[in-house]
Protein backbone atom coordinates (compact mmCIF):
# COMPACT_ATOMS: atom_id res chain seq x y z
CA UNK A 1 0.00 0.00 0.00
CA UNK A 2 2.22 2.78 -1.26
CA UNK A 3 1.56 6.48 -0.91
CA UNK A 4 2.15 9.05 -3.63
CA UNK A 5 4.72 11.59 -2.39
CA UNK A 6 3.87 15.19 -3.28
CA UNK A 7 6.67 17.70 -2.74
CA UNK A 8 5.74 21.29 -1.86
CA UNK A 9 7.91 24.12 -3.14
CA UNK A 10 9.06 24.79 0.45
CA UNK A 11 10.12 21.15 0.84
CA UNK A 12 12.07 21.21 -2.44
CA UNK A 13 13.78 24.48 -1.49
CA UNK A 14 14.74 23.17 1.96
CA UNK A 15 15.97 19.84 0.57
CA UNK A 16 18.19 21.56 -2.00
CA UNK A 17 19.66 23.81 0.69
CA UNK A 18 20.39 20.91 3.02
CA UNK A 19 21.93 18.73 0.31
CA UNK A 20 24.07 21.63 -0.92
CA UNK A 21 25.46 22.15 2.61
CA UNK A 22 25.76 18.44 3.44
CA UNK A 23 25.81 16.27 0.28
CA UNK A 24 26.44 13.14 2.37
CA UNK A 25 22.82 13.36 3.60
CA UNK A 26 21.31 12.90 0.10
CA UNK A 27 21.27 9.08 0.25
CA UNK A 28 19.79 9.10 3.75
CA UNK A 29 17.05 11.53 2.70
CA UNK A 30 16.22 9.39 -0.35
CA UNK A 31 16.06 6.26 1.78
CA UNK A 32 13.77 8.00 4.28
CA UNK A 33 11.44 9.18 1.50
CA UNK A 34 11.20 5.66 0.05
CA UNK A 35 10.35 4.24 3.47
CA UNK A 36 7.86 7.06 4.10
CA UNK A 37 6.10 6.25 0.82
CA UNK A 38 5.80 2.55 1.67
CA UNK A 39 5.19 2.68 5.44
CA UNK A 40 4.90 6.15 7.04
CA UNK A 41 4.67 4.64 10.52
CA UNK A 42 7.75 2.41 10.32
CA UNK A 43 9.41 2.48 13.73
CA UNK A 44 12.75 3.69 12.34
CA UNK A 45 11.07 6.92 11.15
CA UNK A 46 9.80 7.79 14.63
CA UNK A 47 6.69 9.34 13.05
CA UNK A 48 4.56 11.42 15.40
CA UNK A 49 1.58 13.77 15.21
CA UNK A 50 2.31 17.45 15.81
CA UNK A 51 0.46 19.98 17.95
CA UNK A 52 -0.18 23.69 17.89
CA UNK A 53 0.07 25.47 14.52
CA UNK A 54 1.11 22.19 12.87
CA UNK A 55 -1.72 20.13 14.42
CA UNK A 56 -2.80 18.64 11.07
CA UNK A 57 0.73 17.49 10.26
CA UNK A 58 3.14 14.73 11.21
CA UNK A 59 6.92 14.66 11.55
CA UNK A 60 9.41 11.90 10.94
CA UNK A 61 13.14 11.60 11.45
CA UNK A 62 15.48 11.60 8.45
CA UNK A 63 18.65 11.48 10.50
CA UNK A 64 20.04 12.60 13.83
CA UNK A 65 18.67 16.17 13.76
CA UNK A 66 16.82 16.19 10.44
CA UNK A 67 13.01 16.19 10.36
CA UNK A 68 10.47 15.95 7.56
CA UNK A 69 7.07 17.57 8.12
CA UNK A 70 4.19 16.05 6.14
CA UNK A 71 0.46 15.51 6.07
CA UNK A 72 -1.81 12.86 4.63
CA UNK A 73 -3.89 14.02 1.66
CA UNK A 74 -5.85 12.57 -1.22
CA UNK A 75 -4.46 13.14 -4.72
CA UNK A 76 -6.32 11.98 -7.82
CA UNK A 77 -8.33 9.54 -5.71
CA UNK A 78 -5.16 7.96 -4.29
CA UNK A 79 -3.68 8.20 -0.83
CA UNK A 80 -0.83 10.65 -0.81
CA UNK A 81 1.64 12.35 1.49
CA UNK A 82 2.28 16.06 1.07
CA UNK A 83 5.87 16.81 2.07
CA UNK A 84 5.62 20.27 3.61
CA UNK A 85 9.06 21.07 4.98
CA UNK A 86 12.40 19.65 5.98
CA UNK A 87 15.14 20.88 8.27
CA UNK A 88 16.65 20.57 11.71
CA UNK A 89 14.43 20.24 14.73
CA UNK A 90 14.71 23.97 15.50
CA UNK A 91 14.08 25.02 11.87
CA UNK A 92 10.84 23.13 11.32
CA UNK A 93 9.07 23.51 14.70
pLDDT in tens, 3-34: 999 999 999 999 999 999 999 999 999 999 99
Q: 41 with 1: CB under 8 angstroms?
A: no
Q: Looking at residue 22, what is its pLDDT?
A: 92
Q: How far apart are CA 92 and CA 89, in angstroms?
A: 6
Q: How far apart are CA 21 and CA 2, in angstroms?
A: 31
- pTM for the model stands at 0.92
Q: How far apart are CA 76 and CA 92, in angstroms?
A: 28
Amino acid sequence: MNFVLLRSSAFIRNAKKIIKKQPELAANIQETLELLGSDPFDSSLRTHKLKGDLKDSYACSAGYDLRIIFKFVEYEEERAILLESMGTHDEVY
